A and B are shown apart, each in its own frame.
Chain A
Amino acid sequence: MVIEVEVKGVKVYYKSIKALDGVTLSVKNGEILSIVGPNGAGKSTLLKVINGVLRPKIGTVYIDQKSLSDISPREIAKRIGLVPQKIQLTGMLTVYDFVMTGRRPYIDFTPSKRDEEKVYEALETVGAINLADRSLEELSGGELQRVIIARALAVEPEVLLLDEPTNSLDLKYQVEIQKIVKSLRSKGLIIIMAIHDLTYAYRISDKILMLSNGRVFAAGKPEEVLTPKNILAVYGVKPLIITEYKIVAPAET
C-alpha cells in the first residue's frame, strides 16, 4: 500500500505574519523526511499543518491522495501520530493512562483488550514497559520523551510526526530513537521530523527540507541540501561537513 503525504503550496498566517509561504513537499511510505531550519523558520508550524491541527489559508494537505479537509479529525488521528515537543504535566497521570490517550480515536466508551495490547506493544517498542505505572511527573527527560513516542506509536499510525524528538535525550537514547525510527521506516511508516540537530538529520533522513523564514530554501537528498553554501545562507554560520561520517558541525571551535 502506498501512502503519500503531499503538502501543496501551503500558506499559513499568524496574525497577518506569514509563518509559512508556499511550502510544498512529498513523502512516500518507508521514507524519513527531516525538516530543518533555524528557530522560528516554521518547522513546528509545518508539522501542525500536516496533521490538520492548523488549517492553512491557502493550500492543501493530501494523505493517500485524499485532502485532509475531506477526512474527519478522528480518522486523521488514527492515521497520523504526533510526538510534540512539549506536553503539559499536570494531574499525576500514569504512563499507561497517558499512552492510552493515544488510542482515543479508536475508543468509543472504554478501552478494549486490543487497545490495552497496543499500549503495551508501544511501550515495549520504546523500552519503557517497566515505567507503565509510574507517574509522568516522576520521569526523567529521556524517559518522558520515549513515553511520548510510545503514545504516538499506540495510534498505529501510517504517518509519524516528531517535533524535536532528540532534545532532552542523552547519546544512548538518541541512538535508541534512531534505531526505533529506522525500524519503523522498514515497517512502511512515513516519518516526518522537525529537527535542529543537523548531524542527526543527515544520518537518518532520506529527504531533507530546509526552511528559512517560512519558505522552502532547499529540498532533496541530505547531501544535496546540507551544503556549506546553504547552511551559511540559512543559518549564518560556516559549517564543517564530514560527509564520510555525515557530520555537520560549526567550523569555529
Chain B
Amino acid sequence: MMRYSTRKKQLILISLALFTFLLIPVSASLGWYKASLLDILRSLFMPDNSQLSTVIWDLRLRRVLAAIVIGAILGGSGAAIQASMRNPLASPFTFGLSSAASLGVAVALLALHGGAVQRFQIHVYNPFIVSFFAFIFSLIQVFIILLLAYKAGLSAGALVLSSIAISFAYQAILYLLQYLYLNEILVSTVIFWTFGDLGRIAWPELCLVAFSSLIIVFPYFIYRSLDYDLILGGDELAKSSGIRPERVRLETTIVAAFGTALATSFVGVIGFICLIAPHAARLLVGGGHRYLMPTSMIMGSLILTLSDTIGRVIIAPTIIPVGIMTSLVGVPLLVYLLVRGGKHGYRG
C-alpha cells in the first residue's frame, strides 16, 4: 500500500535528480566559446582533440561533474551532521574545516617557499602538495575535536563547543602566521586558494573524489538514514532502540569530515551548501531521512551546479566565484521554499 505522501516524495526526488542531470548537457553548451548545437553534441559524444572538445570537456563538463559530486557530498554531510547533532545549524564547516584547510595551505606554502624568497623551482613543485596539506590539516582538526568531545562524553553539545573553540584557535594561528611570516604574495595565495573554484580540479582528482564518495561517503549516509531519524528523538530513545548515539555521531563526523576535507582540498572552500541543501530538501520531502538524505544530496548537487553555471555565464567572460553564487542562488531559493512551505504545513 503506497501512501500518497510517499509517492509524492518519490516524485520530488526523481524530478530533482532528472533536473540535475539535464543540467549537464545544458551547462556544457553554455559559455563564451561559441559553437553550433550540432558541434556541441558531436563534441559531447565523440570528443576529439579540437579546441571545442577541450572547451566542452575540460572547461565545462568537468566543472559540472565536479559540482554534482561535491554538491552531493556537501549536501549529504550537512544533513548527516545536522541530524546526528540535533542541530539544524551544524555543518562540517562548523568544525572549523575551512580554517584548518587554510592553515594547511599556509604551512604548505611556508614549507615550499622557505618563507622569505619565492624561488623559481618548478621541479620541487608538486601540484598535489598544497591539497595534501589542506586535507591533512582538516583531518587533524577533526581528530582534535573528536578527542575533546570524547572526554566530555561525545554528546551533541560537547561536539559543537569543542568545534567552536578549536576553530577560533586555528583562525588565530593562521592570522599569526600571516602577520609574522607570510609576505604579501603568500598571504594572498592562501586567500586565493581558499576561494572556492570548481575549475581548479583536474580529472584524476575528480575521479578520486567521486570514487571515495561513491564507496564510502554516500553509502554510509544512506545506511544510517533510519538512525538519524532515531537520534532526532533524543539519545535516550535511541539507546532504548539498541543503537549507540555517540558511536553514530563519531562515525558520522569522521565520514562527513573526510568527504568534505577531500573536496575542499581540491576546490577550496565552498560554504553555504551544507547548510542550505538539507533545509531546502526538508521543506520539499519532510524530515524522514529515508527521503531527506538523498534529496539533500541532490539538492546540493543542483544548487552547486546552478551556481557554477550561472556564475560562469552571466557576465561572461568574467567568472563570478562559485562561493558568491551559492549564496546568491541559495538564499532566494530558501526564501521561496519557506514561503511556499508555510502554506502546505511544512514549517521551517
- The contact of B241 among A72, A93, A96, A104, by CB within 8 Å, is A104
Ordered by A's residue number, 12 sampled pairs between the chains whose C-beta atoms are within 8 Å are: A53-B236, A91-B88, A92-B346, A93-B233, A93-B287, A96-B3, A96-B288, A101-B241, A105-B242, A110-B290, A135-B345, A155-B241
Q: Contact: A92 with B233, CB < 8 Å?
A: no
The answer on a CB contact under 8 Å between A87 and B288 is no
- Say how far B340's CB is from chain A's closest CB, in angstroms: 15
What residues of chain A lie closer than 8 Å to B236, measured between beta carbons? Answer: 48, 53, 82, 84
**Binary contact readout B218-261 vs A (1 if CB under 8 angstroms, 0 otherwise):** 00000100110110111011011111100000000000000000
For residue B127, give the distance in angstroms from its CB to the closest CB of chain A. Answer: 40
CB distance from B282 to the nearest CB of A (A): 6
Q: How far is the CB of B288 from chain A (nearest CB, A)?
A: 4
Residues of chain A within 8 A (CB-CB) of B234 are 84, 86-88
Taking CB atoms and an 8 Å cut-off, the chain A residues in 118-142 that contact chain B are 132-133, 135, 137-138
Q: Which residues of B contact A104 (CB under 8 A)?
A: 226-227, 230, 241-243
Which residues of chain A are within 8 angstroms of B1 by Cβ–Cβ distance?
A: 116
Report the stretch among A73-81, A181-189, A198-206 that lies at the interface. A73-81
B269 within 8 A of A: no
Contact B282 A92, beta carbon cutoff 8 Å: yes
**B-side interface residues, number (CB < 8 Å):** 31
Give Cα A155–Cα B240 distance, bound, in whole angstroms.
11
B234, closest chain A residue (CB): A88
Q: How far is the CB of B225 from chain A (nearest CB, A)?
A: 9
10 closest Cβ pairs, A-B complex: A77-B242, A97-B288, A92-B287, A82-B240, A74-B242, A93-B287, A73-B242, A91-B287, A88-B234, A101-B230
Query: Within 8 Å of chain B (Cβ to Cβ): is A102?
Result: yes
B113 within 8 Å of A (CB atoms)? no
Establish whether residues A98 and B242, one from each chain, have CB atoms under 8 Å apart when the complex forms.
no
The total of chain A residues at the interface (CB under 8 A) is 41
A51's partner among B5, B233, B240, B282 (CB-CB below 8 A) is B240
A93–B240 contact, CB under 8 A? no
- The chain B residue with its CB closest to the CB of A113 is B1
Bound-state CA distance A125–B237 (Å) is 21
* Bound: A75/B241 CA distance, A: 9
Tell yes or no: A245 within 8 A of B by CB: no
Asked if A90 contacts B86 (CB within 8 A), the reply is yes
What CA separation (Å) do A135 and B82 show in the bound complex?
A: 18
Q: Which residue of A lies closest to B240 (CB)?
A: A82
Quick check: A87 and B233 within 8 Å, CB to CB? yes
Residues of B at the A interface (CB closer than 8 Å) are: 1, 3, 5, 82-83, 86, 88, 223, 226-227, 229-230, 232-234, 236-237, 239-244, 282, 286-288, 290, 345-347
Q: Given A74-B242, A88-B86, are A97 and B287 neighbors across the interface (CB < 8 Å)?
A: yes
How distant is A186 from chain B, measured CB to nearest CB, in Å? 25
Q: Using A82-B237, A93-B288, A133-B3 as known contacts, say yes or no to A100 and B226 having CB atoms under 8 A apart.
A: yes
Whose C-beta in chain A lies nearest to the C-beta of B5?
A133
Cα A87 to Cα B346 with chains together (Å): 20
A105 to chain B: which residues have CB within 8 Å? 241-242
Q: Check A109 for interface membership: any CB of B closer than 8 A.
A: yes
Most buried by A among B3, B83, B240: B240
Are B345 and A91 touching (Cβ within 8 A)? no
Determine the chain A residues whose CB is within 8 A of the CB of B82 once the complex forms.
Answer: 91
A78 to B237, CA, bound (A): 13
**A91-B237 contact given A101-B230, A132-B3, CB 8 Å threshold:** no
Beta-carbon nearest neighbor of A75 in chain B: B242
Instruction: Find out whether the CB atom of A101 lies under 8 angstroms from the CB atom of B226.
Output: yes
Judge whether A94 and B288 touch: CB under 8 Å. yes
Within 8 A of B (CB), among A228-243: none
Cβ of A58 within 8 Å of any chain B Cβ, yes or no, is: no
Cα–Cα, bound, A165→B347 (Å): 28
Cβ contacts under 8 Å, A135 to chain B: 286-287, 345-347
Chain A residue nearest to B239 in the complex (CB): A53
Instruction: Name the distance in Å between A92's Cβ and chain B's nearest Cβ.
Output: 4
Complex Cα distance, B229 from A115, in Å, reads 16
Q: State in angstroms the CA–CA spacing of A98 and B287 once bound together.
A: 10
Known: A82-B237, A132-B3, A135-B287. Contact between A93 and B242, CB under 8 A? no
CB distance from B306 to the nearest CB of A (A): 25
State the CA gap A137–B233 with chains docked (Å): 12
A191 to chain B, nearest CB (A): 16
Given contacts A53-B240, A94-B286, A107-B226, 9 further A-B contacts (CB under 8 A): A48-B236, A53-B239, A76-B242, A77-B240, A82-B236, A91-B82, A98-B233, A101-B226, A104-B230
Measured CB to CB, the nearest residue on chain A to B232 is A91
The answer, among B3, B227, B232, B244, for a CB contact under 8 Å with A93, is: B232
B286 touches A77 (CB 8 A): no
- Minimum CB–CB distance from A85 to chain B (whole Å) comes to 9
* B88 with A84: CB separation less than 8 A: no
Report the Cα distance A90→B237, complex, angstroms. 14
